[in-house]
Amino acid sequence: MATYQLTVNGKRREVTVDPSTPLLWVLREDLKMTGTKFGCGISACGACTVHVGGVATRSCIVPISHIGDRPIVTIEGISQDAVGRAVQDAWVEKDVVQCGYCQSGQIMSAVALLKDTPKPTDKNIEESMGGNLCRCGTYPRIREAIKTASAQITKGGA
């Protein structure tokens, strides 16, 4: 066991866990932040996506010992960010969610995309969101919501 000082959604948190524990389980089990979901456990579905040091990261396969002092942002904290807020608003406006299980990961990836590329093309969206699977097939609404959020961000609203 080892003790780690983490910055999660802007707050300092301390956890004492096995160094090999994936970040996902530290968030869910130790910090009780269950918005980030376990999907496949092998980084293939994107349900566990969070931001680590600003990079969309698959938390199910990154051991806590690899995080270092990089700040972590999860779905619980993404609304504090202007782009994150715009994406969540667009998600509500376009009624994207069906069962919802994958959606926290979808939103975290969409925010990463829009922070890098505020006006994404369809190809940008396909490539950047290509690792986030949705068994309900909400992909058309996800694309629509990303474009809505993009419009909101680029008109100066975020």
Partner 1 sequence: MRRIRVDLFLLAAFLVVLSCVLAARFAEASNPPTTAQGLAAWQQVYSVLTNPRCINCHTATDYPQQGDDRRRHVANVVRGAEGKGVPGLNCAGCHQETNADSTGVPGGHNWHLAPLSMRWQDINDRALSSGDVCRALTDRSKNNNLDGPGLLKHHEEEPLVKWAWNPGRRPDGTTRTLPPLTHEEFVAATRRWVEAGTPCPK
Q: Provide the minimum distance between the beta carbon of 63 and partner 1 in the complex, in angstroms, as a whole number.
A: 5
Q: Provide the minimum distance between the beta carbon of 70 and partner 1 in the complex, in angstroms, as a whole number.
A: 10
**CA 47 to chain CA centroid, nearest Å:** 8
Q: Provide the minimum distance between the beta carbon of 47 and partner 1 in the complex, in angstroms, as a whole number.
A: 12
CA angle, residues 92, 93, 99, in degrees to nearest 5: 40
Instruction: Tell me which residue of 118, 111, 126, 101 sits closest to 45, measured CA to CA.
Output: 101
* Contacting positions for partner 1 (CB under 8 A): 20, 22, 42-46, 49, 55-58, 60-63, 66, 109-110, 112-113, 115-117, 124, 127-132
CB atoms within 10 A of CB 41: 14
The residue (of 93 and 116) whose beta carbon lies closer to partner 1 is 116
Q: Provide the minimum distance between the beta carbon of 12 and partner 1 in the complex, in angstroms, as a whole number.
A: 22
3-class SS of residue 70: coil
